Structure 1
Amino acid sequence: MKMAIILNIQVYLCMFFAFLQTEGTRNYKENAIIINNFLRQPGWNNINDVELIKYGNNKHELKNLIFNPVKLFNCNDCIRQAMLFLGCSYANDLDLINFSLTKFQEHCFELLVSSYTSAHNCTITLLMKMIEIVPMAECMKGALDAIDKYYIFSRNSERRRNRIILSRLLTNIQEGKTLLTTLRTSLLSIEDVLKTIAEILLSRRKELDEDKSFCQLKHLDFDSLWNLWILECNTLKFQELFIFLGDKISNFILTTIKKKYIDLGFKFDWNTNQTFLPVQLSTSYNHGMAQNLSTNFTQNTNYVNTQETIKKNDITAYPSILRINDVEIREDIRQENNNCEVNDDDSAELVYYPKGQEPFNKYL
């Protein structure tokens, strides 16, 4: 009898510790309510570029996540799935931006053959766009971290705390701002600066490929998209392709923040630079947030139109895959751009240097 009791106790202890080691750790009621409300935000309709995510040796569809109620027993799973769906969608956006920047860099390199001045202006604009991505990366990482805060870790999942999708890439993008800023005033040649940019973009591409292993994304033909951009640029009669590409990237950054941050109800504290999940559903919050975020984003990214062409050719009036659909945000951006000073110092006297080796900062 005593032996049976001891065996039963051992069995119960084994079951207890096995429960602690599973991913099915129960969450708190308050967290379940918050996550349930979060998954009812209208912005989830914008996560339409992710077909499936891979989690827990299974594949999951978004419709099952946003339509099924969040309870204590499935709260942790819902949190992980929400992070992966949003992270995969962010990865898709970053992939498109990385593709755009790569084409941008290649175009700047081609300009070295015909015009050093144009190549310099192109590279300066490229660096500005790469710096402009940093606030978007901060929003993305803040959003994913805000979701992760509600996850209750079991003992065996502690090792996974640092394996948040896109965490390393988004951190590297933010930390890379110093290097990009330094390159703008560098003594390196234009060619060397462009080679450094190419290395940065290649590194980001490799990190993206690793994170996208969690995702099954809808296919986007980048080559066809590039041909579409060339056609659109010619139709709009842009003087420089790099100006057109810069405008595309700026529009896409703001569109992404609007659709996949603001519309998801994330709250940003400008004093602490932290992102929080909405505690409850709100219909009045997004309107004011859209205006504040677009204004602060424009102010904090040094978004300056260095060419009058951008002002004269408003491509937002034309159909495009990268478009700001929200009229109020678009008006905010235009008002901010009108208040920016245009740098006319690009007409500095040219000095002869060996082909492609002129100092990058000789125009600064």
Structure 2
Amino acid sequence: MFSLKLFMFIFLLLYVILYIKAHNSPESTIKQLDNLLKYPGWKNLNDVSSIKFCKKIQYVKNLIETPTHYYKGEQKIRALTIYLGCTYAKVMINIFSIIIKWQEICKNQNKEDDDLKNECIYTKELINIIAKLIVPIAILLKGALDALDLLHHFPWANFKMFRNKPYMIRLLFDRIGYILDELNDPSLSCDDTSTNSLTHEIVYKFFKSIIELLQVETGLFCEFVPSNTNYLWDEWVQAYRAINNQRVKLIFLKFLTIKIKDYIKTVILEKYCHLGFKFDPITEETFLPTPEEPIDLDLEFKAIDEERPTPVQI
């Protein structure tokens, strides 16, 4: 019995030694990671001040500016993946909040908001926003998370056991596309006023649930820079009313579509291209640049913008 315990102890000790050794990042990975962090966009991200990982608070500035040591590479990849997930979660919450705000305006009877209700029956336009703008940006951002995660020798994305870990944020991004399956139900006709309210209710509840789940996940791992949660909505409503005051009548949902499109374009530029991520239009996957590739931000954005699905004109 004693010899068996001794054998098991030696075996476990050997396993731990080999396991630790396996977690040392190869030089090529470290070089690729440090090269990625040279892209200027990393220093311009300003939504997240710190993250919680391995029961420690890690500050973004240190993660980005500190050169990667070979035995800390794996931990740094994990931390940066969480940090990027926090940043992207904030983007999606911003977009979802806009749609929810608009739907709540349609539901209530506040006369002060009558000028924002002039198109609450536009179900087709709402579905177009989701299909042509919201779902594509969620797929693109999820691809960036996956590309960064794949630098690790044990990627979270490949193992179901990590569904309750920080990378859950990525899984929620995956769920965003599911809304289209519900909206493609043949019983929901956009030309049938009796089902329009049901369609809006499906979208409202779905986006509400995703926001709540994202807030739970980010609450566990992300420390955001304090800001007004409705700043985009307030800014856009003010701009819309300024246009209407000039006697230029514009349907509010069409105005929101333009603003959401511009916001997404800015996100792709500043939080994707300027971070060094690249999009392969053939495989429709995101990949990381090699250390030898020159940084050409304008060219990269042009390629992404051309390949990204174009919204339907409404």
Pick the TM interval, shorter chain: 0.7 to 0.9
Query: Normalising by structure 2, what TM-score?
Result: 0.82
Which is further off, 57-66 or 35-44? 35-44
Residue 225 of structure 2: aligned partner: 218
Q: For residues 23 and 305 of structure 1, what CA distance do their matches in structure 2 show? A: 55
Q: Deviations over 1:7-26 (max 9, x none)?
A: 6x776544333345669822
| Structure 1 contact 87–165 (Cα < 8 Å) conserved | no
Q: Which residue of structure 1 lines up, in the alignment, with residue 53 of structure 2?
A: 55
Following superposition of structure 1 onto structure 2, how do residues 57-76 of structure 1 map, counting pairs within 5 Å? 57-76=55-74
Counterpart among 269, 276, 296 of residue 265 in structure 1: 276
Amino acid of the structure 1 residue aligned with 2:139: E
Describe the SS at the equivalent of 1:222: coil
Bigger RCO (CA 8 Å, 6+ sep): 2
**2:241 is the alignment partner of 1:234:** yes
Matched position secondary structure for 2:197: helix
Which residue identity does 1:170 align to in structure 2? F
Quick one: which amino acid aligns to residue 210 of structure 1? V
Specify the structure having the higher radius of gyration (Cα). 1
Q: Which residue of 1 aligns with 2:135?
A: 134
Q: Which stretches in structure 1 are left out of the alignment for 5+ residues? A: 307-364
Mark the CA change 1:196 to 1:89 in structure 2 (over 3 Å): closer, same or farther: same
Is the 8 Å Cα contact of residues 43 and 61 (structure 2) preserved in structure 1? Answer: no
- Mean Cα displacement is larger for which, 82-91 or 196-205? 196-205
Aligned to 1:101: 99
How many residues align? The count is 295
Whole-Å separation in 1 of the counterparts to 2:129 and 2:21: 41
User: What letter corresponds to residue 61 of structure 1 in structure 2?
Assistant: Y
User: Which residue of the other structure, out of 167, 170, 175, is the alignment partner of 1:167?
Assistant: 170
Give the 3 Å change call, closer, same or farther, for CA 139–214 of structure 1 in structure 2: same
| In the alignment, structure 1 residue 145 sits paired with structure 2 residue 153 | no
- 1:1-364 aligned within 5 A: 12-19=10-17, 25-109=23-107, 118-121=119-122, 123-131=123-131, 132-153=133-154, 160-162=161-163, 163=165, 164-182=167-185, 183=188, 185=190, 187=192, 188-212=194-218, 213-223=220-230, 225-237=232-244, 239-280=250-291, 282-297=293-308, 300-301=309-310, 303-306=311-314
Shift of 1:50: 0.3
Q: Please tell me the root mean square deviation across aligned C-alpha atoms, in Å.
A: 3.1
1:220-266 deviations in whole A, cap 9, x for unaligned? 21345533332221112253222222222111111111111111111
Cα drift, residue 283 of structure 1: 4.2
1:79 CA displacement: 0.5
- Match for 1:240: what amino acid? I
Shift of 1:185: 4.0
Q: Distance in 2 between matches of 1:192 and 1:165?
A: 29
Output the TM-score relative to the length of structure 1. 0.72
Is residue 37–residue 280 contact of structure 1 (8 Å, CA) maintained in 2? Answer: yes
State the distance in 2 between where 1:47 and 1:24 align.
Answer: 32
2:21 & 2:262 partners in 1: Cα distance?
40
Q: Classify the secondary structure of the residue corresponding to 1:101.
A: helix
Q: Distance in 2 between matches of 1:130 and 1:56?
A: 36
Give the superposition deviation at 1:143: 0.6
Per-residue CA distance 1:123-149 (angstroms, 9 max, x = gap): 332222122111111111111111111
Code of the residue aligned with 2:147 in structure 1: it is A
